[in-house]
């Protein structure tokens, strides 16, 4: 499976049989998707910065317009169990703050079973997980985690410890590059490892590291 980051919480998982794209907001990838295509599209929360006068097919909540390159995809934006192209996707209710969404609204974390790997995309989650949520999520191999959002570096590290994945993909969600550089530095100080960005990540079940490894990817959305 190949993992690519497009900016903010937009991530593409390219497997042998299907491609899954999470949070392909028009404000990140542009109205045409800048060439991004997929079989399955997930949205963890509505687009915070939709393009003005954006037209096209909307996600189920009616608040997010799909990039035109993704209009024909199987799209999910809420909790539940879904299956398409032999890929199982499980949505688990989360919140974008630690007050059950009172300040920033609700979200959905999605667990994707692709190429024998369980990958969780946490969106812009703003809290640690309850035992019930962890039970719904189950075991994961890869976690795509926001950095620089509602959770500070220490809380983000605690969240990762709850999930105990083999690979952590950092998703910087800061409003500007300077804030992101500081957030990434603090996060990697907590997690260890080298915050040197790489273009993409290729991983299979047989190549999973024994210890939790944190990865930073270059943004394809800003290319």
Per-residue pLDDT of the chain (223 residues; tens, 9 = 90+): 999 999 999 999 999 989 999 999 998 998 888 889 999 999 999 998 888 877 788 887 778 899 999 999 999 999 999 999 999 999 999 999 999 999 999 999 999 999 999 999 999 999 999 999 999 999 999 999 999 999 999 999 999 999 999 999 999 998 777 788 899 999 999 998 888 999 999 999 999 999 999 999 999 875 4
Written as six digits, the tokens of 43 are: 């949205």
So what's the pLDDT on residue 222?
A: 55
Angle (nearest 5°) at CA 89 between 59 and 14: 90
Which whole-number Å values give the CA distances from 222 to 27, 28, 38, in the listed order? 11, 8, 19
Give the chain's domains with CATH numbers: 2-216 (3.60.15.10)
Q: Which residue matches tokens 């590291």?
A: 209
CA dihedral of residues 125, 131, 135, 140 (deg, nearest 10): 50
């Amino acid at each position: 499976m190949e993992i690519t980051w497009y900016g903010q919480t937009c991530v593409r998982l390219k497997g042998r049989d299907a491609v899954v794209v999470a949070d392909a907001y028009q404000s990140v990838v542009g109205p045409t998707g800048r060439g991004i295509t997929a079989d399955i599209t997930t949205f963890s929360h509505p687009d915070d910065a939709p393009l003005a006068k954006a037209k096209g097919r909307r996600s189920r909540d009616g608040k997010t317009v799909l990039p035109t390159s993704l209009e024909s995809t199987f799209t999910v934006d809420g909790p539940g169990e879904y299956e398409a192209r032999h890929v199982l996707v499980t949505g688990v209710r989360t919140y974008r703050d630690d007050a059950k969404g009172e300040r920033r609204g609700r979200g959905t974390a999605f667990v994707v079973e692709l190429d024998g790997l369980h990958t969780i995309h946490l969106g812009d989650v703003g809290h640690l997980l309850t035992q019930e949520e962890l039970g719904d999520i189950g075991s994961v191999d890869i976690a795509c985690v926001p950095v620089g959002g509602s959770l500070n570096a220490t809380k983000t590290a605690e969240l990762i410890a709850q999930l105990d994945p083999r690979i952590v993909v950092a998703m910087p969600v800061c409003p500007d590059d300077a804030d992101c550089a500081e957030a990434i530095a603090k996060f990697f100080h907590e997690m260890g490892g080298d915050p040197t960005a790489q273009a993409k990540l290729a991983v299979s079940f047989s190549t999973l590291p024994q210890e939790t490894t944190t990865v930073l990817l270059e943004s394809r959305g800003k290319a």
